[in-house]
């Protein structure tokens, strides 16, 4: 039965109320509170039953047949909501807004929160070490404004991005945004990429919050940024329906202050998860995160995602690491104290969103207890950040909140004895009442002679005197007892004295719960007024935790303080890949990476499995670690400030978008060629392998030439096209290196050592042998290789000349080759000459690359 198939006037009053509320929340699954359950009806019930594997039943709704229904207990609703959110649903929580006991007729109900992936406030549903971002995108024609917030911590940021979908997508994916708010005017390709390709939840809103929270943007001059903030705030207000004053400021992000990476670089370098298993373990953040608090872990992740370009700020972080590792006793004391500090950022979020309980207040109190000691240690170290001890808040919570308080607020036992005199008096009455019951029972036994008599209590009948059937005849009329209930084995009575005491005890119990709740809300409000100071402390503590983590890593992994230089050079002695080094069972071979000002490209050759990709990743990771403010894995490191890192490492098809390995290669290479500057770093691993040999080699050479002539940035370029090594004779900015191997008696040992010059052999068959290929197959491969090598030796002189050399050749060959060179060279140069790099769109760059490929096809036909 569908919701639109029923007649509204035939429904019961409660189901009419349900439909009135549901019609305002058609995009959400409505959890409708009835007593101790949340119930879902019609299509919502069918969906929840299917997704949560619940039994679908029916409910009387005033119709001839029952309507579809399923439900879950209110006290265990969280895992059900979490499961639905993970599956991409939104959930609207509809609560009873009145106490059913004191209400005649229909209980008033209303939606108090809409929960989606981006609006979670219960941190039991979130990963503690990750932010949970929701973002607004506004399209202004020539630019995008991206405003994003983690409402669980109160963080909000905004930035302007050039109107380029790839740049926007990289920012969203790198941040790990869970939900995006769009206006109806956004382009369909962007929506498709966000939703279908990357699984990001999409919501729509054309409204802006005009009056509240003006303090967040009153000092901002950029009207577009202000619109972005208002757009996001409106959505947060209508979905959370809670106070958002824990968002105390908006950080305007200037992308020029940070090293930039696209999503491919972040993934290829395995900064936050491994490529193969998509797990945090064995990623760079897994190695570096020694934080004692969840907020420290989030801060460290932010530093790695947004490496700095400011040498002054970086040197400040280096100095703190140096100081901490000098004062190692203080360092360990600080880490011990931070271990006792809870997630103050998310506790501040709970203060405002209404989900705070007494145990959360105890976590705030226990965290504040360690701030004076932490503050003292920071002063000893010369760290200038000033923590607020908030002694008044600590003393209030110490005096007021029961250390053994329950999670729920309606069970009492929240407030300590001695805090409130009225509460103490009521507790005395309640305690005295219980003592009275015990003595009253004993007195009745003696007065009546009924020895198995007992005084009991239940919620329906209250207090009663229970007498067994066998002794019920002993109850005399002059006792003045009134029969209250007859059971199979006993009779239950009430006496005037017990009724009087019952009223006193039960009234005291109800008033205790009411007063405790009222006092709790007052205490919570007092703490909430200090939210700015609490958030400031959280920021200082998270940064302290992050820098302590880097200090521990510096000592544990034998890292060295990098030297930042204004020269266009990289000098790394005995550099190491920190993760590979830690997990390696056979020891790690360190390598130098020397790129003086006159060397822009290292052209790397070497066998598979020799360590070319690791060497390339190692350089990028050393630079990233340096620019996040960390020491680096090397014996010595002198580094320039890098503005962008681009990588093309590993061969993979993009199955989601249906793109081949070669297309993925070309797109990623195109992104680097269009956006790199002289101060960038490019890593190209075996570029061109996704197509025919000569196509791939030609493109690889053209790209190498373009990078060196037109960009001039530091580049690592690994290849199996050994012919490319001759380029170093023509271009002085290219230097050949190779990963060495030792061959003896037919056995090859990979030395993993990077040395000068090109390699003279590939060792591919040896790699196949290590993979345990059949012996017969390996023997046949060796025979075929011998044939090809013989042909290569015979034609080597001609082939070498046809691409690079200027040695003499026989006249007929020389004419043929010269014509071929002239044909290819003039076409390629003409195509590159016509490219206006400053105004080149990504699609134009791809078209140019395809045109180069066509040139090579023509060359093949000429042959």
Task: Give yes or no for a contact between 68 and 30, defined as CB atoms under 8 angstroms apart.
Answer: no
Q: Is the pLDDT of residue 652 over 60?
A: no
Q: pLDDT tens-digit profile of 573-614?
A: 999 999 999 998 788 999 999 999 999 999 999 887 788 999
Tell me: pLDDT of 541 over 90.
Answer: yes
All domains in the chain, ordered by first residue: 3-115 (3.40.1170.10), 127-253 (3.30.420.110), 294-389+537-552 (1.10.1420.10), 421-523 (1.10.1420.10), 563-772 (3.40.50.300), 810-863 (no CATH)
For residue 802, name the pLDDT band (cuts at 50, 70, 90).
very low
Q: Which two tokens stand for residue 641?
A: 């400030």
What pLDDT is stored for residue 710 in this prediction?
A: 95
Report residue 786's pLDDT band, with 50, 70 and 90 as the boundaries: confident
Judged by average pLDDT, the poorest of 190-204, 390-404, 551-565 is 190-204
d(CA 430, CA 409): 19
pLDDT at 33: 96
Q: What is the pLDDT of residues 432-488, one digit of tens each?
A: 777 788 888 888 999 898 888 999 888 777 889 999 988 888 988 888 899 988 898
What is the spatial distance between Cα 189 and Cα 186, in angstroms, rounded to a whole number? 9
Give the model's confidence band at 667: pLDDT under 50 very low, under 70 low, under 90 confident, else very high. Answer: confident
- Using alpha carbons only, give the angle 547, 548, 551 rounded to the nearest 5 degrees: 90
Asked whether the beta carbons of 430 and 505 are under 8 A apart, the reply is yes
CB atoms within 10 A of CB 542: 26
In this predicted structure, what is the pLDDT of residue 757? 93
Residue environment code for 313-345, b if the CB has 16+ CB neighbours within 10 A, otherwise e: ebeebbebbebbbebeebbebbbebbeebbbbb
Q: Identify the band that residue 819 occupies on the pLDDT scale cut at 50, 70 and 90.
A: very low
* 291 to 286, 338, 545: CA distances (angstroms): 11, 9, 6
Residue 190: pLDDT band by 50, 70, 90 thresholds?
Answer: confident
Give kind and range of the element (H or E) at residue 744: strand 734-744
Confidence of residue 839 (pLDDT cuts 50, 70, 90): low
3-state secondary structure 603-653: EEECCCCCCHHHHHHHHHHHHHHHHCCCCECCCEEEEECCCEEEEECCCCC
For residues 503-517, average pLDDT: 88
Residue 692: pLDDT band (50, 70, 90) is low
Query: Whose CA is closest to 572, among 649, 626, 643?
Result: 626
Q: Which helix (H) or strand (E) holds 593?
A: strand 591-595
| End-to-end CA separation in angstroms for the chain | 72
> What is the SS3 string spanning 649-668?
CCCCCECCCCECHHHHHHHH
Q: What confidence tens digit (pLDDT) does each residue in 91-146 have?
A: 999 999 988 877 888 999 999 999 999 998 887 889 999 999 999 999 999 999 99
Token pair belonging to 777: 């197959």
| 788 pLDDT more than 70 | no
**Res. 779: pLDDT tops 90:** no
- Please say if the pLDDT value at position 152 is more than 60: yes
Mean pLDDT (the chain, rounded)? 88
- DSSP letter (8 states) at residue 482: E
Q: What is the pLDDT of residue 828?
A: 64
| Mode of pairing for the β-strands spanning 143-150 and 260-261 | unpaired
The SS3 call for residue 144 is strand
pLDDT at residue 853, as a whole number: 72
- CA–CA dist 244, 155 (Å, integer): 11
Range scoring the smallest mean pLDDT among 1-5, 54-58, 290-294: 1-5
φ/ψ region of 270 (left if φ > 0, alpha if ψ in -120 to 50, else beta) reads left
Q: What is the pLDDT of residue 833?
A: 67
């Amino acid at each position: 039965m569908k919701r639109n198939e029923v007649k509204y006037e035939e429904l019961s009053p409660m189901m009419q109320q349900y439909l009135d509320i549901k019609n305002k929340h058609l995009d959400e699954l409505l959890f409708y509170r009835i007593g101790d359950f949340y119930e879902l009806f019609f299509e919502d019930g069918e969906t929840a039953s299917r997704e949560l594997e619940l039994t679908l039943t029916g409910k009387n709704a005033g119709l001839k047949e029952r309507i579809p229904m399923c439900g879950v207990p209110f006290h265990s609703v969280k895992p059900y909501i979490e499961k639905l959110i993970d599956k991409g649903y939104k959930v609207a929580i509809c609560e009873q807004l009145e106490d059913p006991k004191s209400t005649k007729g229909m209980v008033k109900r209303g939606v108090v929160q809409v929960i989606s992936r981006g609006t979670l406030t219960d941190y039991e549903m979130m990963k503690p070490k990750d932010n949970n971002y929701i973002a607004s995108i506004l399209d202004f024609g020539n630019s995008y404004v991206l405003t994003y917030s983690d409402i669980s911590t109160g963080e909000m940021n905004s930035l302007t991005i050039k109107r380029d979908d790839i740049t926007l997508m990289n920012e969203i994916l790198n941040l790990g945004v869970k939900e995006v708010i769009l206006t109806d005017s956004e382009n369909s390709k962007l929506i498709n990429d966000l939703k279908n390709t990357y699984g990001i939840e999409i919501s729509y809103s054309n409204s802006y919050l005009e009056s509240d929270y003006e303090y967040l943007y009153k000092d901002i001059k950029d009207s577009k940024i202000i619109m972005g903030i208002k757009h996001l705030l409106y959505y947060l207000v209508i979905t959370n329906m809670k106070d958002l004053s824990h968002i105390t400021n908006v950080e305007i992000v200037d992308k020029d202050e940070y090293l930039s990476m696209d999503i491919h670089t972040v993934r290829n370098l395995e900064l936050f998860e491994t490529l193969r298993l998509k797990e945090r373990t064995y990623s760079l953040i897994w190695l570096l995160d020694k934080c004692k608090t969840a907020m420290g872990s989030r801060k460290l992740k932010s530093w790695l995602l947004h490496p700095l370009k400011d040498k002054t700020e970086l040197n400040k972080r280096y100095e703190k690491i140096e100081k901490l590792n000098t004062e190692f006793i203080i360092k360990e004391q600080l880490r011990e104290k931070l271990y006792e500090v809870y997630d103050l950022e998310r506790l501040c979020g709970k203060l405002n969103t209404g989900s705070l309980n007494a145990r959360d207040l105890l976590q705030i109190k226990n965290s504040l207890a360690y701030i004076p000691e932490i503050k003292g240690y920071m002063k000893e170290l010369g760290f200038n950040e000033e923590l607020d001890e908030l002694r008044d808040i600590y003393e209030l919570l110490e005096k007021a909140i029961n250390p053994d308080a329950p999670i729920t607020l309606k069970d009492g036992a929240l407030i300590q004895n001695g805090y409130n005199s009225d509460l103490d008096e009521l507790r005395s009455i309640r305690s005295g009442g219980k003592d009275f019951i015990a003595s009253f029972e004993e007195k009745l036994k003696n007065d009546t002679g009924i020895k198995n008599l007992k005084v009991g209590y239940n919620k329906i009948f209250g207090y009663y005197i229970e007498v067994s059937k066998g002794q019920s005849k002993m109850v005399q009329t002059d006792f003045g007892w009134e029969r209250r209930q007859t059971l199979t084995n006993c009779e239950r009575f009430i006496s005037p004295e017990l009724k009087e005491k019952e009223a006193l005890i039960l009234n005291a119990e109800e008033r205790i719960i009411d007063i405790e709740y009222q006092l709790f809300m007052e205490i919570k409000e007092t703490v909430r007024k200090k939210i700015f100071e609490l958030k400031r402390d959280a920021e200082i503590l998270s940064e302290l935790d992050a820098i302590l983590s880097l200090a521990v890593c510096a000592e544990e992994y034998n890292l060295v303080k990098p030297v930042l230089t204004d020269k266009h050079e990289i000098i790394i002695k005995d550099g190491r890949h920190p993760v590979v080094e830690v997990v390696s069972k056979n020891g790690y071979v360190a390598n130098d990476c020397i790129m003086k000002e006159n060397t822009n490209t290292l052209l790397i050759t070497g066998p598979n499995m020799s360590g070319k990709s690791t060497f390339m990743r190692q350089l990028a990771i050393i630079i990233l670690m340096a620019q996040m403010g960390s020491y680096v894995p090397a014996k010595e490191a002198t580094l320039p400030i890098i503005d962008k890192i681009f990588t093309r490492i590993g061969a993979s098809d993009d199955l989601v978008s249906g793109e081949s390995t070669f297309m993925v290669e070309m797109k990623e290479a195109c992104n680097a060629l269009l956006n790199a500057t002289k101060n960038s770093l490019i890593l190209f691993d075996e570029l061109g392998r996704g197509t025919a040999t000569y196509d791939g080699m030609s493109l690889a050479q053209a790209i190498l030439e373009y990078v060196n002539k037109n960009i001039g940035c530091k580049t690592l370029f690994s290849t199996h096209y050994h012919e490319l090594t001759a380029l170093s004779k023509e271009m002085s900015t290219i230097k050949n290196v190779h990963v060495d191997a030792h061959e003896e008696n037919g056995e090859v040992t990979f030395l993993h050592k990077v040395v000068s010059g090109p390699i003279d052999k590939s060792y591919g068959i040896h790699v196949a042998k290590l993979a345990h290929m059949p012996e017969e197959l390996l023997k046949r491969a060796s025979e075929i290789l011998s044939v090809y090598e013989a042909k290569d030796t015979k034609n080597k002189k001609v082939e070498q000349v046809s691409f690079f050399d200027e040695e003499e050749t026989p006249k007929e060959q020389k004419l043929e080759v010269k014509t071929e060179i002239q044909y290819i060279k003039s076409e390629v140069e003409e195509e590159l000459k016509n490219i206006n790099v400053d105004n080149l769109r990504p699609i134009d760059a791809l078209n140019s690359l395809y045109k180069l490929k066509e040139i090579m096809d023509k060359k093949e036909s000429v042959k």
